Amino acid sequence: MLQFLSSVTLQCPAASLRAFLGRTANLPEISDPDIELEILSAPETVAVGEKIVFRITALGLRQRMTHEYRAVTDLEIHECLVDGPMPAWHHHQRIQVLGDTECQLTDEVFFQLPGGLMKFVLTEERIRESLTSGMAYRYATLQDLVQSGALS
């Protein structure tokens, strides 16, 4: 499986960040507008065994996907693709407490490339480019939310 790793340090309490990330309604706010994230069904808050069904536009293709939450703790959210265009996609979000008002969010994605004709569209390079720009947007938005006081 291929791996993508990214992180950001935020000047907010870990509990505030985790609470924000755990509310599925917040996901479109921190998702790159270019992917046009549309949540079709989801629990209000993430929980082990719950599923989120959504649509995104990736590399010019509109895709419907379902992820299942596999691990949810005070400092971690782990979700796995159970229906979608990729053979495997695992997204781990881990929060490390650095102080009372400082934490580090690490996003780790493990994925397998698709086969068939999709392998010509969803190449490793394109997936990594999309993840890089998506995480840059996510982290910038989280930084803005911290500065505005929404994550305090």
Domain boundaries, the chain: 2-147
Query: What is the mean pLDDT of the segment spanning 5-9?
Result: 98
Per residue in 77-126, pLDDT tens? Answer: 999 999 998 899 999 999 999 999 999 999 999 999 988 877 787 889 98
Q: How far apart are CA 12 and CA 76, in angstroms?
A: 16
Q: Which of the following CATH numbers is that of domain 2-147: 3.30.2130.10, 1.10.540.10, 3.30.530.20, 3.65.10.10?
A: 3.30.530.20
**Average predicted confidence (pLDDT) for the chain:** 95
Whole-structure pTM value: 0.94
Write the CB contacts of 138 (distance below 8 Å, at least 6 apart in sequence): 30, 31, 32, 107
